[in-house]
Amino acid sequence: MKIGALARKTGTTAETIRYYERTGLLEEPPRTAGNYRDYGPTELARLRFIRRARDLGFTMAEVRQLLSLSDDPSQSCEAVDSIASLHLREVDRKLGDLRKLRTELRHMVDDCQHGAVGECRIIEVLAG
């Protein structure tokens, strides 16, 4: 499988895959006679893993850790749980922040009387 096909199968782009390779998240695959990257099911699975973790908001560093943990199936999954739980707490914090922010924005927009900028509530709030 060439890079474009792998990209289509994983909802990525060839550029992103090459970027993952550059940064060491993916290993260098074998090449065809014409110097094209040649991917098999192992790489497909690894990239799917990476994309799922990234879609769940894990950072590249966390993905790296999760990958190396998943490579040693006999180990305790404590470390995995701790990465995921930490991330969950982080997401909760962000949710809280975003909800507060939404409330403020909502008030601001609701109070706008659609008049002149001079008495615009939005501008007033921002100007303090």
Residues in contact with 73: Cβ distance below 8 Å, sequence separation at least 6, in sequence order = none
Compute the distance between CA of residue 32 and CA of residue 54 in angstroms, rounded to an integer: 29
Which lies closer to DNA via its Cβ, residue 75 or residue 91?
91
For 79, the token pair is 């470390």
Q: How far apart are CA 43 and CA 12, in angstroms?
A: 14
* Binds DNA (CB under 7 A): choice among 44, 60, 108, 120: 60
- Asked if 17 and 26 touch (Cβ cutoff 8 Å), the reply is yes
When the beta carbons of 6 and 53 are compared against a copy of itself, the nearer one is: 53
Member of 42, 59, 68, 103 binding DNA (CB under 7 A): 59
Question: Of the candidates 33, 34, 41, 126, which one interacts with a copy of itself according to CB under 8 A?
Answer: 126
Using CB under 7 A as the binding rule, whether residue 61 contacts DNA is answered as: yes
> Phi and psi at residue 37, in whole multiples of 5°?
-65, 135
Would you give the binding string for a copy of itself spanning residues 50-69, x where CB under 8 A is met? --xx--xx--------x--x
Query: Which one, 36 or 44, has the nearer CB to a copy of itself?
Result: 44
Q: Which residues contact 10 (CB under 8 A, 6 or more apart)?
A: 44, 47, 48, 51
Residues that bind DNA (CB under 7 A): 2-5, 7, 13-16, 18-19, 31-37, 54, 59-61
